[in-house]
């Protein structure tokens, strides 16, 4: 059997319900909506869906909202 590489393997996906089982954080501090792929102990790619309703935008730079990168 050959070892799988990043190019020819299925991505490891983690949905938000499973993320919530792993992390104690909840809205508005749960800043991960979906893990799109990872290699355990090495790297992780994830999605955070950002909308204008995020608490950080309330009264923050009217007309020019900025979402700080993490």
In the chain, how many domains are there?
Answer: 1
The mean pLDDT value of the chain amounts to 86
CB 66 within 8 A of CB 60: yes
User: Is residue 1 over pLDDT 50?
Assistant: no
Domain assignment present for residue 67? The answer is no
pLDDT in tens, 6-34: 568 999 999 999 999 999 999 889 999 99
Q: By residue range, what is the domain housing residue 16?
A: 9-45
What pLDDT is stored for residue 2 in this prediction? 47
Q: Is 60 a catalytic residue?
A: yes
User: Is residue 69 over pLDDT 80?
Assistant: no
Domain assignment present for residue 23? The answer is yes
CB 37 within 8 A of CB 11: yes
What pLDDT is stored for residue 6 in this prediction? 57
State the Cα–Cα distance between residues 19 and 1, nearest whole angstrom: 32
Q: Which of 9, 39, 60, 65 is catalytic?
A: 60
Domain assignment present for residue 62? The answer is no
Q: Which residue has the tokens 């799988």?
A: 4
What pLDDT is stored for residue 19 in this prediction? 97
């Amino acid at each position: 059997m050959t070892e799988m590489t990043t190019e020819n393997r299925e991505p490891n996906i983690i949905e938000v319900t499973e993320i919530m089982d792993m992390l104690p954080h909840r809205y508005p501090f749960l800043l991960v909506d979906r893990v799109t792929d990872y290699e355990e102990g090495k790297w992780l790619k994830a999605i955070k869906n950002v909308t204008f309703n995020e608490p950080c935008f309330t009264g923050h730079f009217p007309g020019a909202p900025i979402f700080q990168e993490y």
